[in-house]
């Protein structure tokens, strides 16, 4: 893969006709080092956010050893890419055949569940295995997050105690997990969820070996500037230390967006301007799914080598397909003199953007190039991206020694 110095340099040199995905390995490595060094437990990457094998390798080399896989397809891909990684099947509803293959073929030992039916399924599929890490997912609020994940999964409070007791009997290590929703905008989301964990432990009187606080760790977007991630880690650490759990209990997290959002961006070309509407060559069925369907506002910048108007205006985008739904309302703030033939970089698309691309209507073919410049926004400025892969930091060593 050819490496360019910057997005602007690439646009000038190639004048691409189709969308171009830009990847910044240094940004993903920096995010990974931040979590590995500063989160007070085990960092487990949520593969669904961006399943690129190249990205998984970058995260592994930066010290991320655990991976949250949500389907047998992700299990297979992650195992091919990272033969030594610890894979955790954290989707609470799985096909029995998928559980069996994950356990016997791919060495998966950690599974999540939120019902008695799923527990029984796991026990059957693994033939009563005695080396299982089983994490009961409890339902918590998504009120502090931009995208809710509270409706589909999670045991209800009245069912949690019975489920934890039953799971304790089948598990070598028992865990409790939850998900506060995507893009949690305050550490209070985790504080409140940890109170649910406390209540569940008290109600069931079981020994808990793993507390998995899930994902939800934010990135930064226009109009969504979260507090520093250190603040989230501090709240989680304090809540974890005060839980009635085993002295050797482990703390896990499952960042997806926070590890990969800054990894990728997209260069698109303006094919037409109609007032404050720009017709571009990627859209709702491509990398801009979230911009269209959940109104996500991504940062944008004009890539023009020459004079640019100091005046700005708000624009919406139409994608390249024949579908009226291929519309991104924005608003996206760009120079007022933008015109057909100009290139735009859409930033922070490493999370979910490229993962959700389709080839609907014959579109969706794109090239990928590495660039050396910084992402359009970052939560990790000033973070060192060494040392070598999969090292244990001094802080981690001390934490483990205490336990």
Q: List, run by run, the mean pLDDT of 10-residue segments along the chain (403 residues).
A: 86 93 96 96 96 97 97 98 97 97 98 97 97 95 78 84 96 96 92 95 95 95 93 96 93 97 96 96 91 92 90 94 91 95 96 86 84 92 53 36 35
Domains located in the chain, CATH noted: 3-22+261-371 (2.40.37.10), 26-260+387-402 (3.20.20.10)
Strand, coil or helix: what is 268?
Answer: strand
Q: Both tokens of residue 86?
A: 């610890």
DSSP 8-state assignment for residue 102: H
Cβ proximity of 362 and 16 under 8 Å: no
Confidence at residue 397, expressed as pLDDT on a 0 to 100 scale: 31
Confidence at residue 185, expressed as pLDDT on a 0 to 100 scale: 92
Cβ proximity of 271 and 312 under 8 Å: no
Confidence at residue 401, expressed as pLDDT on a 0 to 100 scale: 35
Distance CA 150, CA 322 (A): 34
Whether pTM > 0.85 for this model: the answer is yes
Give the alpha-carbon dihedral of 33, 35, 39, 44, to 10 degrees.
-120
Cβ proximity of 238 and 205 under 8 Å: no
E strand intervals along 155-299: 173-177, 182-184, 210-212, 250-253, 264-274, 277-280
Cβ proximity of 63 and 42 under 8 Å: no
Supply φ then ψ for residue 23, to 5 degrees. Answer: -120, 145
Distance CA 257, CA 49 (A): 6
**β-bridge mates for residue 251, sequence order:** 211
Confidence at residue 396, expressed as pLDDT on a 0 to 100 scale: 39
């Amino acid at each position: 893969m050819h490496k360019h110095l910057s997005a602007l340099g690439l646009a000038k040199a190639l004048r691409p006709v189709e969308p171009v995905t830009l990847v910044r390995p240094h940004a993903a490595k920096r995010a990974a080092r931040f979590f590995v060094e500063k989160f007070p437990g085990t960092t487990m990457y949520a593969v669904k956010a961006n399943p690129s094998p190249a990205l998984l390798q970058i995260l592994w080399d930066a010290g991320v050893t655990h991976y949250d896989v949500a389907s047998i397809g992700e299990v297979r891909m992650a195992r091919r890419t990272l033969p030594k990684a610890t894979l955790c099947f954290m989707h609470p509803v799985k096909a029995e055949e998928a559980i069996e293959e994950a356990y016997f073929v791919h060495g998966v030992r950690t599974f999540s569940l939120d019902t008695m039916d799923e527990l029984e399924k796991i026990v059957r599929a693994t033939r009563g295995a005695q080396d299982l890490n089983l994490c009961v997912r409890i339902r918590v609020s998504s009120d502090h997050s931009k995208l809710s994940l509270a409706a589909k999964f999670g045991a209800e409070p009245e069912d949690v105690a019975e489920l934890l007791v039953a799971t304790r009997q089948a598990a070598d290590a028992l865990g409790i997990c939850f998900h506060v929703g995507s893009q949690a905008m305050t550490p209070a989301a985790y504080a409140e969820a940890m109170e649910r964990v406390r209540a569940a432990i008290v109600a069931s009187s079981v020994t808990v070996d793993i507390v998995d606080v899930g994902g939800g760790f934010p990135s930064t977007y226009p109009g969504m500037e979260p507090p520093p991630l250190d603040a989230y880690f501090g709240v989680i650490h304090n809540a974890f230390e005060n839980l009635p759990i085993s002295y050797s209990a482990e703390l896990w997290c499952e960042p997806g967006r926070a590890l990969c959002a800054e990894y990728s961006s997209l260069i698109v070309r303006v094919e037409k301007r109609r007032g404050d509407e720009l017709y571009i060559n990627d859209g709702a069925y491509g990398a801009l799914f979230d911009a269209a369907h959940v109104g996500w506002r991504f940062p944008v910048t004009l890539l023009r080598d020459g004079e640019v108007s100091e005046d700005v205006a708000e624009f919406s985008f139409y994608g390249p397909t024949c579908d009226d739904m291929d519309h991104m309302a924005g608003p996206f703030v760009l120079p007022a003199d933008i015109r057909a033939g100009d290139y735009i970089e859409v930033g922070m698309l490493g999370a979910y953007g490229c993962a959700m691309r389709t080839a609907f209507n014959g579109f969706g073919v794109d090239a990928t190039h590495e660039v050396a410049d910084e992402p359009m926004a970052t939560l990790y400025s000033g973070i060192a991206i060494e040392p070598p892969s999969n090292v244990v930091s001094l802080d981690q060593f001390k934490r483990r020694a205490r336990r």
